[in-house]
């Protein structure tokens, strides 16, 4: 999937979530008072660094000692091989 399509997919997801929450709680507008800064992922290296940054945040903020112990992390998915992923999908 091209980066532009991926970016649009996330934008659509965020917009759908916002509309759903606004409808449920009879509200309007943005969910966040402060706009979230979004950076375009322009290279594979930047993507790798962003993934690492996100997954290390629980350690940085003291939720866990090591990322391997953090039960809400999806980091293990990145370490799986394509064969493991295919087996799990079946």
Domain boundaries, the chain: 1-38, 40-90
Find out whether 72 and 34 touch, Cβ atoms under 8 Å.
no
Q: What is the pLDDT of residue 16?
A: 93
Residue 16, classified by CB atoms within 10 Å of its CB into exposed (0-12), middle (13-18) or buried (19+), is exposed
The two structure tokens encoding residue 86:
């295919």
Find out whether 30 and 18 touch, Cβ atoms under 8 Å.
yes
Q: What is the pLDDT of residue 75?
A: 80
Q: Can you tell me whether residue 80 is helix, strand or coil?
A: coil
Vertex 29, ends 2 and 13: CA angle to 5°? 25
Q: What is the pLDDT of residue 62?
A: 94
Q: What is the pLDDT of residue 20?
A: 94
pLDDT in tens, 37-50: 778 889 999 998 99
Q: What is the pLDDT of residue 33?
A: 67
Listed as ranges, residues in the chain with pLDDT below 50 are none
In 10 A of CB 44, how many CB atoms?
Answer: 8
Q: What is the pLDDT of residue 25?
A: 92
Find out whether 30 and 36 touch, Cβ atoms under 8 Å.
no
């Amino acid at each position: 999937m091209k980066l532009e399509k991926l970016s649009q997919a996330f934008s659509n997801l965020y917009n759908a979530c916002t509309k759903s929450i606004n409808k449920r709680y009879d509200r309007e507008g943005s969910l966040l008072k402060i706009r979230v800064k979004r950076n375009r992922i322009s290279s594979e290296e930047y993507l790798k660094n962003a993934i690492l940054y996100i997954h290390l945040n629980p350690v940085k903020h003291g939720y866990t000692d090591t990322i391997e112990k953090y039960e809400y992390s999806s980091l293990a998915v990145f370490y799986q091989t394509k064969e493991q992923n295919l087996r799990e999908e079946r």
